[in-house]
Amino acid sequence: MKVNPNNHMKAIAAGWSGMYMTDDSGETWHDLNNSGAWLSVDISKSNSDICFAAGGGPSIMKSVDGGTTWVYCTNGVSGQFIKIAIDPENQSRVIALSHYGSNITVYQTFDGGNTWQPASGIPGNAGAYFIHGIVYTSQSIFVATDNGLYKSTDNGISWSLAYSGSPQSMCTTVLNGSLALCGFSGSGIYYSSDQGSSWPIMLSSPGNIEILDFKINPDNSDEILLVNINNDCYYTNNGGQTWQLQSNGLFCDYIYSLEVDFADKIRYAPTTGNSVFRWVAPTPAYPDSISGITTVCQGQNAVMYSVPEIGNATSYVWTLPGGASGTSTTNSIIVNYTATAVSGDITVFGTNACGNGLSSLLSITVNTVPAGAGTITGNSTVCQGQNAVSYTVPEITNATSYVWSLPSGATGTSTTNSISVNYGTSAVSGDIAVFGKNTCGDGTNSSLAIVVNIKPITPEIFINGNVLHSNAPAGNQWYNFLTLITGATNQTYNITGGGNYYVIVTMNGCSSDKSNSIYFSYGIEESNSIYEVSVHPNPNNGEFKITCEFKNQKEVSIKVFDCLGKSSYFLEPKKYVGKIEKSINLRELPSGIYKLILTIDNEIVTKNVAIQKQ
C-alpha cells in the first residue's frame, strides 16, 4: 500500500481481492472495483494524481485522478507483475517487475505507461516470486530480490549484481543520499554511502531477530520503524540506541510490509488475509492544573507558570491575558505583565503531529497601582495649638490604604481617606499630602499647603486707678467675667463698673490664652440672682459658711477677691445638687471688704464679705 504524499489522509491498498482507498487515514475504506490480485501499488511523489498498480494477468493499471478511476496500460508486457515503482523525480518513468515461472523480467516505461520495454541483467532465478523493493537514487536504480541486490546505472537498460544476499526490504535515507536495507546475512539494517558498492555499517535489530520490513523517516534518519519475522513492531527515535515494542493490537499470521506516514504519525501494516492494521499516535493528554500566582500587578515581570508534563505532547501552546507577554513551547513559561495588562486567563494545551489536546486554564487577576489622589479639603490656615482639624480626600480607585504626611509639629494618624490633625504649639507651615497604596505600589500624591499662624503669647494685665493695662500692644479683647466687652480692643480699658476683668490677644486669627484676672469693685454692691445664696456670719473673723440650694445638678466654683481684684481664694468647679453648705476659712486675710464670686453653671452670683478682726 502507499500513502498519498500530498494528502496524508488518503492511501491506496492493493491485495488479492482488489484495490481499496481511504480518505480518512484508514478509518474507512472503499472498494475501487478493480477485481483480481493486485500485488503492488505506487503513487508519484511529484504528482500525486498519477498512480500505478501491478498484478496478475498480466496487469498494469494507471490512474490520473489520484486512484479514483483506473485504466489498463499493458502494451508490450507479459507475465504476472509483483512490483512497480514510479521515479520520484519523473512521473513518466516507471519500473515494473514481472515473473513467469522462475523468470524475472524488468520492464520500464518513459512515457507514463503508453509503451514498455524489457531490460536485461537480472537472472531468471533472481528472486522468483519474492522481489522486495525498487529504489531510485540520483545515479542508479536498485532492485532487492531474494538472491541479491541488483543495480542499474543506465536508466534500467542493463542490470548487475551489486551485493549478494537476501535483502528483505530497502529504502533511501537522508544521510547524504545513503542506501539502507535489511535481510543480508544477519538481523540488522545495513547502510551504504557509495551507491551500493559496500555496506560497512550495520544497525542491529532488537533481539537480533530477522527484519522483514523497515521504514526510515526521510526527514530524520534517527526515527526508524521495523517489523521482524515474529510480527513484532519496534520503534526508535534515537538511531537504534533504544527500541520500543509497539505491537499492542497486532494479531495476525504475517505482516509482509509497513507503510508509515511520519509527518502525521500514522502507521499501516498490511497483512495476510486482506487486512490492514493501523496505528495512530494519540493526541496529547488532558493537562493538569497550571501552577503560579493568580494575582499580579501591572508592570510585574518574570512571573513563572508551569504545568506537569503532558502525556504525548511534543510541544506546548500557551495563551496569556491581554497586555501580558511571554513565549514558550515547553511546560513552563515566564510572563511579563506590562503597564497596560488586564485580567484574563492563562491557558496551555499540548500538541503533537496528531493534533491538539484540551486546555488547562488559570484565571489571573491583574491589579493596578492606585489612581492619583484627588483634592484634599479642609482648613488651609490654622493656628498653633489648634486641635481636631479634619481633612478629607475623595476615595482613591484601587487603594487599599492611604498614607498621610503632615507639617512639622502637627500630629495625626490615619489609613483612610480622612484624618484629624492636631497642631502643636511648635507646629510650622507646610504641606499635608496623601497617596493611595496597595500591594502593587503607590499612587501619585495630592497635597494641600497649610499656613500655621503663631499663637500669641499669653498677655499680662495690671490696674492703675480705674484703668486696666495689657502688655500686648495689639490684638487685645477685654472681658468682664465671661462676657466680651464690645469695642474694648485697645491696650488699655477704662473701668466703668465692678467686675472680674481679663484680656485675650488675637493675631492673624489665632488667640492667646486669657490673661490673669483683676477684680474691681465700686463699693459693696451685690448682684441679683435667681439663686438664694447666703453668707453667715457676715461680718465675720475670716471664717464663714456659704449656703445655697439647687433643685437640679449645678456646677459651682467659688472665688474671693480683695478690693484691688487680687484673688484670695479659689475653689475648683464641682457639681452639686440639693442643699449645700460650704465652710470657708480666710483667717489669714486682713480685715476688709472682700468680693465673693460664685459661678453657678454660666451665671455669676456676687456677695460682699466683711472680715473684722479684734
Question: Could you read off the pLDDT of 447-486 as tens digits, one per residue?
Answer: 999 999 999 999 999 988 789 999 999 999 999 877 899 9
- Residues 207-261: pLDDT tens digits? 777 777 788 887 888 888 888 877 788 888 888 888 888 777 666 556 667 778 7
Phi-psi region of 198 (alpha: psi -120 to 50; beta: other; left: phi over 0): beta
The answer on pLDDT for 526 being more than 70 is: no
**Strand spans (E) along 88-187:** 90-100, 103-109, 117-119, 131-136, 141-145, 148-152, 160-164, 169-172, 179-182
pLDDT at position 16 over 90: no
- Residue 365 is predicted with a pLDDT of 95
Task: Name the residue ranges covered by the structural domains of the chain.
Answer: 1-131, 168-281, 295-367, 381-451, 461-520, 534-611
Residue 315 has pLDDT above 60, yes or no: yes
Task: Say how far apart CA 159 and CA 221 lie, in whole Å.
Answer: 28
Fold of 1-131: Methylamine Dehydrogenase; Chain H (2.130.10)
Mean pLDDT of the chain: 85
Class of domain 168-281 as given by CATH: mainly beta
State the fold for domain 534-611: Immunoglobulin-like (2.60.40)
Query: What is residue 174's predicted lDDT score, i.e. its pLDDT?
Result: 41
Chain segment 369-383, per-residue pLDDT in tens = 999 999 999 999 999
If you average pLDDT over residues 596-610, what whole number do you get?
A: 87
| CATH among 1.10.3720.10, 3.60.20.10, 3.40.309.10, 2.60.40.10 for 295-367 | 2.60.40.10
381-451: CATH topology? Immunoglobulin-like (2.60.40)
pLDDT at 195 over 80: no
Residue type, 478: W
pTM (2 decimals)? 0.49
Q: Minimum mean pLDDT among 14-28, 71-85, 273-287: which range?
A: 273-287
The answer to whether the 295-367 and 534-611 domains have the same CATH topology is: yes
Query: Helix, strand, or coil here: 390?
Result: strand
Hey, which residues does 53 pair with through a beta bridge? 41, 61
CA distances from residue 607 to 523, 535, 599 in whole angstroms, order as listed: 12, 8, 12
208 DSSP assignment: G
Distance CA(104)–CA(478), nearest Å, equals: 141
The mean-pLDDT minimum among 32-46, 421-435, 518-532 falls in 518-532
Pick the range with the lowest mean pLDDT from 18-27, 39-48, 542-551.
Answer: 18-27
For the ranges 125-129, 187-191, 334-338, the one whose mean pLDDT is highest: 334-338
Interatomic CA distance for residues 234 and 212, integer angstroms:
12
355 torsion bin: left (phi>0), alpha (psi -120 to 50), beta (else): left
Q: Pairing mode, if any, of strands 360-367 and 295-297?
A: parallel
What's CA 608's distance to the chain center, in Å?
88
